[in-house]
Chains A and B, each alone.
Chain A
Amino acid sequence: MRHVGFTPDTPGVYEGLTVRHFLQFIAMGYDFDTQDANDRIDFWLEKVWLKEKANQKIKTLSRGMRQRVGLARTLLTNPALVLLDEPAAGLDPAGRVQFRQLLCDLRDQGKALIVSSHILADMEDYCTHIGIMSQGSMMRFATVAELAKETAASGSCRYQMIIARAIPRLEETLQSIAGISRIEVNRERAVFDYARNSEAAAELLVNMIRRGIPVSAFGPQSVGLEEAYLRFGIRQVD
Protein backbone atom coordinates (compact mmCIF):
# COMPACT_ATOMS: atom_id res chain seq x y z
CA MET A 1 0.00 0.00 0.00
CA ARG A 2 3.02 2.26 0.49
CA HIS A 3 3.30 2.66 -3.29
CA VAL A 4 -0.36 3.47 -3.83
CA GLY A 5 -1.79 6.96 -3.44
CA PHE A 6 -5.51 7.65 -3.59
CA THR A 7 -7.43 10.91 -3.66
CA PRO A 8 -11.20 10.40 -3.44
CA ASP A 9 -13.79 12.80 -4.81
CA THR A 10 -14.10 14.41 -1.38
CA PRO A 11 -10.79 13.81 0.36
CA GLY A 12 -10.94 13.09 4.08
CA VAL A 13 -9.17 15.75 6.11
CA TYR A 14 -9.02 16.87 9.73
CA GLU A 15 -10.80 20.20 9.54
CA GLY A 16 -9.49 21.34 12.92
CA LEU A 17 -5.85 21.07 11.85
CA THR A 18 -3.80 23.48 9.82
CA VAL A 19 -2.71 22.35 6.37
CA ARG A 20 0.87 21.89 7.59
CA HIS A 21 -0.14 19.90 10.67
CA PHE A 22 -2.34 17.66 8.55
CA LEU A 23 0.51 16.90 6.18
CA GLN A 24 2.84 16.38 9.17
CA PHE A 25 0.40 13.79 10.43
CA ILE A 26 0.50 11.98 7.08
CA ALA A 27 4.31 12.13 7.04
CA MET A 28 4.38 10.72 10.57
CA GLY A 29 2.11 7.87 9.50
CA TYR A 30 4.55 6.98 6.75
CA ASP A 31 7.54 7.13 9.13
CA PHE A 32 9.37 9.98 7.41
CA ASP A 33 12.00 11.66 9.55
CA THR A 34 11.33 15.25 10.54
CA GLN A 35 13.67 16.89 8.03
CA ASP A 36 12.48 14.74 5.14
CA ALA A 37 8.86 15.36 6.11
CA ASN A 38 9.31 19.13 6.24
CA ASP A 39 11.10 19.15 2.89
CA ARG A 40 8.34 17.10 1.27
CA ILE A 41 5.61 19.25 2.83
CA ASP A 42 7.22 22.47 1.61
CA PHE A 43 7.72 20.99 -1.86
CA TRP A 44 4.13 19.81 -2.28
CA LEU A 45 2.59 22.90 -0.73
CA GLU A 46 4.46 24.88 -3.36
CA LYS A 47 3.38 22.45 -6.11
CA VAL A 48 -0.32 22.58 -5.23
CA TRP A 49 -0.29 26.35 -4.62
CA LEU A 50 -1.06 26.23 -0.92
CA LYS A 51 2.15 27.73 0.45
CA GLU A 52 0.34 30.82 1.77
CA LYS A 53 -2.36 28.68 3.35
CA ALA A 54 0.06 26.36 5.17
CA ASN A 55 -0.80 27.66 8.64
CA GLN A 56 -4.50 28.11 8.00
CA LYS A 57 -7.02 25.65 9.39
CA ILE A 58 -8.47 23.32 6.76
CA LYS A 59 -12.04 24.22 7.75
CA THR A 60 -11.45 27.77 6.45
CA LEU A 61 -10.45 26.55 2.97
CA SER A 62 -12.67 26.39 -0.11
CA ARG A 63 -13.62 23.08 -1.74
CA GLY A 64 -10.99 23.51 -4.43
CA MET A 65 -8.31 24.16 -1.84
CA ARG A 66 -9.34 21.09 0.15
CA GLN A 67 -9.04 19.14 -3.08
CA ARG A 68 -5.48 20.41 -3.35
CA VAL A 69 -4.77 19.40 0.25
CA GLY A 70 -6.02 15.92 -0.64
CA LEU A 71 -3.73 15.89 -3.65
CA ALA A 72 -0.74 17.00 -1.56
CA ARG A 73 -1.61 14.27 0.94
CA THR A 74 -1.53 11.66 -1.83
CA LEU A 75 1.64 12.86 -3.50
CA LEU A 76 3.55 13.53 -0.26
CA THR A 77 4.43 9.86 0.02
CA ASN A 78 5.74 9.70 -3.55
CA PRO A 79 3.57 6.75 -4.63
CA ALA A 80 4.31 4.87 -7.83
CA LEU A 81 0.60 4.40 -8.57
CA VAL A 82 -1.74 7.35 -8.10
CA LEU A 83 -5.51 6.90 -8.15
CA LEU A 84 -7.50 10.11 -8.54
CA ASP A 85 -11.27 10.33 -8.43
CA GLU A 86 -12.61 13.54 -9.98
CA PRO A 87 -9.43 15.41 -9.05
CA ALA A 88 -10.36 18.62 -10.88
CA ALA A 89 -13.77 18.97 -9.21
CA GLY A 90 -14.01 22.27 -7.39
CA LEU A 91 -10.89 23.75 -8.97
CA ASP A 92 -11.16 27.18 -10.55
CA PRO A 93 -10.14 27.57 -14.24
CA ALA A 94 -6.61 28.69 -13.36
CA GLY A 95 -6.33 25.83 -10.88
CA ARG A 96 -7.42 23.36 -13.54
CA VAL A 97 -4.73 24.54 -15.93
CA GLN A 98 -2.07 24.26 -13.19
CA PHE A 99 -3.44 20.90 -12.16
CA ARG A 100 -3.21 19.57 -15.72
CA GLN A 101 0.39 20.70 -15.84
CA LEU A 102 1.09 18.95 -12.54
CA LEU A 103 -0.37 15.69 -13.81
CA CYS A 104 1.67 15.99 -17.01
CA ASP A 105 4.81 16.41 -14.88
CA LEU A 106 3.91 13.33 -12.82
CA ARG A 107 3.24 11.35 -15.98
CA ASP A 108 6.60 12.42 -17.40
CA GLN A 109 8.27 11.26 -14.16
CA GLY A 110 7.01 7.77 -14.99
CA LYS A 111 4.23 7.54 -12.41
CA ALA A 112 1.17 5.49 -13.21
CA LEU A 113 -1.88 7.74 -12.91
CA ILE A 114 -5.40 6.36 -13.00
CA VAL A 115 -7.86 9.23 -13.19
CA SER A 116 -11.61 8.92 -13.02
CA SER A 117 -13.13 12.10 -14.40
CA HIS A 118 -16.08 13.51 -16.29
CA ILE A 119 -14.04 16.46 -17.55
CA LEU A 120 -12.91 14.76 -20.73
CA ALA A 121 -11.43 17.83 -22.38
CA ASP A 122 -8.82 18.03 -19.59
CA MET A 123 -7.98 14.35 -19.83
CA GLU A 124 -6.86 14.65 -23.42
CA ASP A 125 -3.91 16.68 -22.19
CA TYR A 126 -2.47 14.29 -19.65
CA CYS A 127 -3.80 10.81 -20.42
CA THR A 128 -2.09 8.25 -22.62
CA HIS A 129 -4.93 5.69 -22.47
CA ILE A 130 -8.65 6.12 -22.03
CA GLY A 131 -11.20 3.61 -20.77
CA ILE A 132 -14.86 4.44 -21.24
CA MET A 133 -17.06 2.73 -18.68
CA SER A 134 -20.81 2.41 -18.36
CA GLN A 135 -22.79 0.53 -15.71
CA GLY A 136 -19.56 -0.98 -14.38
CA SER A 137 -18.46 -2.39 -17.74
CA MET A 138 -15.55 -1.27 -19.86
CA MET A 139 -17.06 -0.12 -23.15
CA ARG A 140 -13.80 0.85 -24.84
CA PHE A 141 -10.15 0.99 -23.90
CA ALA A 142 -7.65 2.60 -26.26
CA THR A 143 -4.96 5.21 -26.52
CA VAL A 144 -6.09 8.80 -26.94
CA ALA A 145 -4.69 8.81 -30.49
CA GLU A 146 -6.60 5.65 -31.42
CA LEU A 147 -9.87 7.04 -30.13
CA ALA A 148 -9.35 10.34 -31.94
CA LYS A 149 -8.58 8.48 -35.17
CA GLU A 150 -11.73 6.36 -34.84
CA THR A 151 -13.82 9.42 -34.21
CA ALA A 152 -12.39 11.28 -37.20
CA ALA A 153 -12.92 8.23 -39.41
CA SER A 154 -16.57 7.91 -38.45
CA GLY A 155 -19.02 9.33 -40.95
CA SER A 156 -21.07 11.45 -38.54
CA CYS A 157 -20.40 14.28 -36.16
CA ARG A 158 -22.39 15.76 -33.28
CA TYR A 159 -23.53 19.27 -34.12
CA GLN A 160 -24.92 21.96 -31.88
CA MET A 161 -27.36 24.59 -33.08
CA ILE A 162 -28.52 27.67 -31.19
CA ILE A 163 -31.64 29.42 -32.42
CA ALA A 164 -32.55 33.05 -31.92
CA ARG A 165 -35.93 32.23 -30.36
CA ALA A 166 -37.78 29.05 -29.39
CA ILE A 167 -40.01 27.77 -32.18
CA PRO A 168 -42.77 25.17 -32.01
CA ARG A 169 -42.15 21.64 -33.33
CA LEU A 170 -38.41 22.16 -33.81
CA GLU A 171 -37.70 18.49 -33.16
CA GLU A 172 -40.19 17.37 -35.81
CA THR A 173 -38.71 19.84 -38.30
CA LEU A 174 -35.23 18.47 -37.70
CA GLN A 175 -36.46 14.89 -37.94
CA SER A 176 -37.87 15.65 -41.35
CA ILE A 177 -34.40 16.48 -42.67
CA ALA A 178 -32.66 13.41 -44.11
CA GLY A 179 -29.44 12.35 -42.38
CA ILE A 180 -30.12 13.90 -38.97
CA SER A 181 -30.26 11.49 -36.03
CA ARG A 182 -30.09 11.44 -32.20
CA ILE A 183 -31.85 14.80 -31.84
CA GLU A 184 -31.97 16.50 -28.43
CA VAL A 185 -33.85 19.80 -28.18
CA ASN A 186 -33.68 22.06 -25.17
CA ARG A 187 -35.49 25.38 -25.81
CA GLU A 188 -33.11 27.48 -27.96
CA ARG A 189 -30.51 24.75 -28.22
CA ALA A 190 -30.52 21.56 -30.26
CA VAL A 191 -27.88 18.88 -30.70
CA PHE A 192 -27.93 16.11 -33.29
CA ASP A 193 -25.75 13.82 -35.40
CA TYR A 194 -25.14 14.61 -39.05
CA ALA A 195 -22.55 13.90 -41.72
CA ARG A 196 -19.00 15.04 -40.81
CA ASN A 197 -18.42 16.45 -44.31
CA SER A 198 -18.25 20.28 -44.18
CA GLU A 199 -20.00 20.63 -47.57
CA ALA A 200 -22.89 18.59 -46.21
CA ALA A 201 -22.94 20.74 -43.05
CA ALA A 202 -23.13 23.92 -45.18
CA GLU A 203 -26.07 22.45 -47.14
CA LEU A 204 -27.77 21.47 -43.90
CA LEU A 205 -27.47 25.03 -42.60
CA VAL A 206 -29.04 26.42 -45.80
CA ASN A 207 -31.79 23.78 -45.59
CA MET A 208 -32.60 24.68 -41.95
CA ILE A 209 -32.77 28.40 -42.68
CA ARG A 210 -35.01 27.68 -45.67
CA ARG A 211 -37.36 25.78 -43.31
CA GLY A 212 -37.67 28.89 -41.18
CA ILE A 213 -35.41 27.87 -38.30
CA PRO A 214 -33.84 31.09 -36.94
CA VAL A 215 -30.30 29.69 -36.61
CA SER A 216 -27.99 32.02 -34.69
CA ALA A 217 -25.10 29.59 -34.20
CA PHE A 218 -24.25 26.23 -35.73
CA GLY A 219 -21.19 24.00 -35.50
CA PRO A 220 -19.67 20.74 -34.25
CA GLN A 221 -20.61 20.39 -30.57
CA SER A 222 -17.53 18.63 -29.35
CA VAL A 223 -14.29 17.27 -30.55
CA GLY A 224 -11.88 14.61 -29.43
CA LEU A 225 -12.65 12.55 -26.32
CA GLU A 226 -16.02 14.11 -25.65
CA GLU A 227 -17.14 13.20 -29.12
CA ALA A 228 -15.68 9.70 -28.79
CA TYR A 229 -17.55 9.32 -25.52
CA LEU A 230 -20.81 10.54 -27.01
CA ARG A 231 -20.48 8.08 -29.88
CA PHE A 232 -21.05 5.29 -27.37
CA GLY A 233 -24.48 6.71 -26.70
CA ILE A 234 -23.99 6.77 -22.92
CA ARG A 235 -26.56 9.22 -21.62
CA GLN A 236 -26.54 8.75 -17.88
CA VAL A 237 -23.11 8.99 -16.31
CA ASP A 238 -22.73 6.87 -13.17
Chain B
Amino acid sequence: MASSNAIGWVQFKLLGGTRNLCVTSVAYAIVVIAVMFLATQLENPPSFAVLGRGAPVIMSVQLIVLLLYGTLRVGHAVRLDVNGSMIESHRLMPVSSISAVLGYLFGSTAQAFSLFVINIVLGAACVSVASVSPGSRLGDAGHAGARPDDLLARSSRNA
Protein backbone atom coordinates (compact mmCIF):
# COMPACT_ATOMS: atom_id res chain seq x y z
CA MET B 1 0.00 0.00 0.00
CA ALA B 2 2.94 2.26 0.66
CA SER B 3 3.48 3.36 -2.94
CA SER B 4 -0.22 3.92 -3.70
CA ASN B 5 -2.02 7.21 -3.95
CA ALA B 6 -4.71 6.91 -1.28
CA ILE B 7 -6.92 9.72 -2.59
CA GLY B 8 -6.70 8.43 -6.16
CA TRP B 9 -7.51 4.93 -4.95
CA VAL B 10 -10.53 6.03 -2.92
CA GLN B 11 -11.90 8.17 -5.76
CA PHE B 12 -11.54 5.21 -8.10
CA LYS B 13 -13.30 2.98 -5.54
CA LEU B 14 -16.12 5.51 -5.17
CA LEU B 15 -16.72 5.23 -8.91
CA GLY B 16 -17.31 1.52 -8.43
CA GLY B 17 -13.74 0.25 -8.81
CA THR B 18 -12.37 -2.06 -11.48
CA ARG B 19 -15.64 -3.88 -12.03
CA ASN B 20 -17.62 -0.76 -12.79
CA LEU B 21 -14.81 0.58 -14.96
CA CYS B 22 -14.76 -2.63 -17.05
CA VAL B 23 -18.56 -2.75 -17.38
CA THR B 24 -18.75 0.92 -18.43
CA SER B 25 -15.87 0.63 -20.87
CA VAL B 26 -17.14 -2.56 -22.51
CA ALA B 27 -20.67 -1.19 -22.74
CA TYR B 28 -19.39 2.04 -24.29
CA ALA B 29 -17.20 0.15 -26.77
CA ILE B 30 -20.14 -2.08 -27.78
CA VAL B 31 -22.39 0.93 -28.33
CA VAL B 32 -19.77 2.75 -30.44
CA ILE B 33 -18.98 -0.37 -32.51
CA ALA B 34 -22.71 -0.94 -33.04
CA VAL B 35 -23.14 2.67 -34.21
CA MET B 36 -20.15 2.28 -36.56
CA PHE B 37 -21.55 -0.95 -37.97
CA LEU B 38 -24.98 0.61 -38.47
CA ALA B 39 -23.37 3.56 -40.22
CA THR B 40 -21.64 1.22 -42.68
CA GLN B 41 -24.90 -0.66 -43.32
CA LEU B 42 -26.87 2.51 -43.93
CA GLU B 43 -24.60 3.41 -46.81
CA ASN B 44 -25.83 2.36 -50.23
CA PRO B 45 -24.05 0.16 -51.04
CA PRO B 46 -22.73 -0.67 -47.52
CA SER B 47 -19.22 0.69 -47.23
CA PHE B 48 -16.47 1.24 -44.64
CA ALA B 49 -15.68 4.58 -46.25
CA VAL B 50 -18.35 6.21 -44.10
CA LEU B 51 -16.19 5.53 -41.04
CA GLY B 52 -13.67 8.06 -42.32
CA ARG B 53 -16.33 10.72 -41.87
CA GLY B 54 -16.84 9.52 -38.28
CA ALA B 55 -13.38 10.71 -37.19
CA PRO B 56 -14.53 14.29 -36.43
CA VAL B 57 -17.44 12.86 -34.45
CA ILE B 58 -15.05 10.81 -32.36
CA MET B 59 -12.84 13.87 -31.87
CA SER B 60 -15.89 15.76 -30.57
CA VAL B 61 -16.73 12.91 -28.22
CA GLN B 62 -13.11 13.03 -26.98
CA LEU B 63 -13.52 16.70 -26.19
CA ILE B 64 -16.75 16.08 -24.33
CA VAL B 65 -15.28 13.15 -22.42
CA LEU B 66 -12.09 14.90 -21.34
CA LEU B 67 -13.13 18.50 -20.96
CA LEU B 68 -16.68 18.15 -19.78
CA TYR B 69 -17.07 14.74 -18.12
CA GLY B 70 -13.51 14.67 -16.76
CA THR B 71 -13.62 18.11 -15.19
CA LEU B 72 -17.13 17.49 -13.86
CA ARG B 73 -15.88 14.33 -12.15
CA VAL B 74 -12.97 16.18 -10.52
CA GLY B 75 -15.26 19.01 -9.40
CA HIS B 76 -17.78 16.55 -8.00
CA ALA B 77 -15.08 14.63 -6.10
CA VAL B 78 -13.66 17.77 -4.50
CA ARG B 79 -17.13 19.09 -3.64
CA LEU B 80 -18.09 15.76 -2.07
CA ASP B 81 -14.99 15.82 0.13
CA VAL B 82 -15.53 19.41 1.20
CA ASN B 83 -19.21 18.91 2.02
CA GLY B 84 -18.65 15.56 3.75
CA SER B 85 -15.77 16.94 5.90
CA MET B 86 -13.37 14.45 4.34
CA ILE B 87 -11.00 17.31 3.56
CA GLU B 88 -10.44 17.61 7.33
CA SER B 89 -9.53 13.95 7.42
CA HIS B 90 -7.16 14.34 4.46
CA ARG B 91 -5.42 17.20 6.25
CA LEU B 92 -4.48 14.90 9.11
CA MET B 93 -2.99 12.37 6.69
CA PRO B 94 0.68 12.58 5.77
CA VAL B 95 -0.25 13.01 2.10
CA SER B 96 1.64 15.62 0.07
CA SER B 97 -0.30 18.31 -1.77
CA ILE B 98 0.89 17.14 -5.16
CA SER B 99 -0.14 13.58 -4.35
CA ALA B 100 -3.61 14.78 -3.31
CA VAL B 101 -4.01 16.80 -6.51
CA LEU B 102 -2.87 13.87 -8.65
CA GLY B 103 -5.26 11.62 -6.74
CA TYR B 104 -8.23 13.85 -7.54
CA LEU B 105 -7.10 14.33 -11.15
CA PHE B 106 -6.56 10.70 -12.04
CA GLY B 107 -8.69 8.80 -9.50
CA SER B 108 -11.97 10.55 -10.12
CA THR B 109 -11.44 10.59 -13.91
CA ALA B 110 -10.57 6.91 -14.34
CA GLN B 111 -13.75 6.32 -16.36
CA ALA B 112 -13.16 9.39 -18.49
CA PHE B 113 -9.64 8.18 -19.27
CA SER B 114 -10.91 4.72 -20.07
CA LEU B 115 -13.45 6.17 -22.53
CA PHE B 116 -10.67 8.36 -23.95
CA VAL B 117 -8.49 5.31 -24.65
CA ILE B 118 -11.42 3.43 -26.22
CA ASN B 119 -12.12 6.43 -28.44
CA ILE B 120 -8.50 6.55 -29.57
CA VAL B 121 -8.50 2.85 -30.42
CA LEU B 122 -11.86 2.98 -32.21
CA GLY B 123 -10.96 6.26 -33.93
CA ALA B 124 -7.71 4.76 -35.19
CA ALA B 125 -9.63 1.68 -36.35
CA CYS B 126 -12.16 3.90 -38.16
CA VAL B 127 -9.51 5.85 -40.01
CA SER B 128 -7.48 2.74 -40.77
CA VAL B 129 -10.45 0.77 -42.17
CA ALA B 130 -11.87 3.74 -44.07
CA SER B 131 -8.55 4.61 -45.69
CA VAL B 132 -8.01 1.10 -47.05
CA SER B 133 -7.63 1.45 -50.75
CA PRO B 134 -10.30 -0.75 -52.39
CA GLY B 135 -7.96 -1.49 -55.27
CA SER B 136 -5.08 -2.72 -53.21
CA ARG B 137 -7.15 -4.57 -50.65
CA LEU B 138 -10.02 -5.96 -52.65
CA GLY B 139 -8.76 -5.80 -56.21
CA ASP B 140 -11.93 -3.99 -57.12
CA ALA B 141 -11.06 -0.60 -58.67
CA GLY B 142 -14.68 0.12 -59.50
CA HIS B 143 -15.75 0.50 -55.85
CA ALA B 144 -15.53 3.84 -54.08
CA GLY B 145 -15.22 1.97 -50.80
CA ALA B 146 -14.95 -1.55 -49.54
CA ARG B 147 -18.16 -3.44 -48.87
CA PRO B 148 -17.96 -5.01 -45.41
CA ASP B 149 -19.43 -8.35 -46.51
CA ASP B 150 -17.02 -8.55 -49.47
CA LEU B 151 -14.13 -7.59 -47.24
CA LEU B 152 -14.95 -10.32 -44.74
CA ALA B 153 -15.50 -12.92 -47.46
CA ARG B 154 -12.26 -12.07 -49.27
CA SER B 155 -10.27 -11.94 -46.05
CA SER B 156 -11.40 -15.43 -45.11
CA ARG B 157 -10.70 -16.69 -48.63
CA ASN B 158 -7.17 -15.23 -48.49
CA ALA B 159 -6.57 -16.82 -45.14
Contacts and interface: CB of A to CB of B under 8 A. Distances in A.
A16 B17 CA distance: 11
Given A8-B88, A12-B88, A14-B86, A1 B94 contact: yes
B11 to A, nearest CB: 9
B141 interface: no
Contacts of A13: 84, 86
Contacts of B6: 25-26, 28-29
Interface string A76-89: 00000000000000
A4 interface: yes
A68 interface: no
Contacts of A1: 91-94
Interface in A1-58: 1-2, 4-6, 8, 10-17, 21, 24-34, 37
A12 B86 contact: yes
Interface of A: 1-2, 4-6, 8, 10-17, 21, 24-34, 37, 73
Contacts of A16: 14
Contact of A4 (B9, B85, B90, B92): B92
Contacts of A28: 1, 4, 6, 9-10
Contacts of B4: 28
B95 A12 contact: no
Contact of B1 (A2, A8, A15, A32): A32
A107 B91 CA distance: 25
B84 A12 contact: yes
A32 B89 CA distance: 17
Interface residues of B, number: 22
A73 B1 contact: no
Given A12-B87, A28-B10, 13 more contacts: A1-B93, A1-B94, A12-B84, A12-B88, A13-B84, A13-B86, A17-B13, A25-B13, A30-B94, A33-B1, A33-B2, A37-B1, A73-B89
A84 to B, nearest CB: 14
Given A25-B9, A30-B93, A34-B1, A14 B85 contact: no
Contacts of A4: 92
A12 B9 contact: no
Nearest to A35: B1
Interface string B7-49: 1011001100000000000000000000000000000000000
Interface-centre pick from B13, B88, B92, B93 (highest chain A CB count, 10 A): B92
Contacts of A14: 10, 14, 84, 86
Given A21-B13, A25-B6, A28-B6, A12 B93 contact: no
Nearest to A24: B1
Interface in B84-110: 84-95
Contact of B85 (A2, A12, A27): A12
A31 B13 contact: no
